[in-house]
Amino acid sequence: MTDAQLVASCRAGDEAAWGALVDRFSRYVYAICTQGFRFNGYDAEDAFQDVFTKAYEQLGSLRDDAAVRPWLAQLTRRVCIDRLRAAKRESPAEDVEPPDVDDVLSTLDEAIAVRQALAGIGEPCGEMLDRFFARDQSYRTIAEELELPAGTIASRISRCLEKLRAAMEDSGTLARPEAR
Amino acid sequence: MTDDLEQLGSLLSALPPAPEAWVAAAREIPKVGAELDALLRRAAADAELRSKLIEDLESALNEAGIAPTRWAVAEARARLSSF
């Protein structure tokens, strides 16, 4: 289901679609709160829930359903700035935003593109790369949970990364290296 | 590992999962919001329930079948303040 279809279903009151939207964007919102604005603990949790509460309430004001990701990024940014302002009692946004927040958001947009490619390379590669890189699981944990020989995990991860790179080159999201 | 593979690994690391309980609470926003609306409608017409919500919000939510998550408690408190 595309982002636009998901938003349209949410707006029609489909609670399962709302759950799918939360699943699709929870990592992104979490990363903006924790990496972009360096929130942790209750601050991060409250900001995270505030973003999804406002998103649910304001979904009707989204003009382009396909643009839900940048809309969520902007909403998350506003929520985080408001929380920082409230804590520091300062008014201009420039004074409270971390100086590198634009760079972090740009990196997260690239990371989203990689995750979209990851979803297309099939299993067990998608699961294995997510466990190792995003969930920070050890070779041993991955081997146990996926019931694979521990000694093969490193080489499998390497092959899966190659597969991911090839998928991104094929789709044009990653430039092919020039022929030497 | 080549530079571009390291870069891919680094980008994969940039999006760790949010804590499961947070995601579960966000999924429940429409359901819990509707339950809170119903509870507060009842409280508007029921002084005893209103007192209970004000005195011990978490227990009152529990008794109404609403899990008193951090979000649900904060949301109920915000809505109660407009009474």
| CA nearest to A3, candidates A74, A70, A72, A67 | A67
Alpha-carbon distance B21 to nearest alpha carbon in chain A (angstroms): 10
- pTM (2 decimals)? 0.86
This complex has an ipTM of: 0.87
Q: How much is the pLDDT for A161?
A: 94
Q: How much is the pLDDT for A78?
A: 95
- Long-range contacts at B35-41 (CB < 8 A, ≥ 24 apart): B35/B64, B35/B65, B35/B66, B36/B66, B36/B72, B36/B75, B36/B76, B36/B79, B39/B64, B39/B66, B39/B76, B40/B76, B40/B79, B40/B80, B40/B83
Using the predicted structure, report yes or no on whether residue B28 has a pLDDT greater than 60. Answer: yes
Cα distance between residue A5 and residue A66, in whole Å: 8
Closest CA in chain B for residue A157? B9
To the nearest whole number, what is the mean pLDDT of chain B? 90
Is B30 close to A35, i.e. CB distance below 8 A? no
Q: How much is the pLDDT for B2?
A: 73
What is chain A's pLDDT, residue by residue, as a tens digit (180 residues)? 899 999 999 999 899 999 999 999 999 999 999 999 999 999 999 999 999 999 999 998 898 999 999 999 999 999 999 999 888 765 555 578 888 999 999 999 999 999 989 988 888 899 999 999 999 999 999 999 999 998 899 999 999 999 999 998 887 776 665 544
Closest CA in chain B for residue A173? B8
Nearest CB to B30; choose among A15, A29, A42: A15
Cα distance between residue B36 and residue B42, in whole Å: 10
Q: How much is the pLDDT for B82?
A: 74
Average pLDDT over residues B45-51: 90
| CA nearest to A50, candidates A5, A86, A17, A16 | A86
Average pLDDT over residues B21-44: 92
Confidence of residue B70 (pLDDT cuts 50, 70, 90): confident
Closest CA in chain A for residue B28? A19
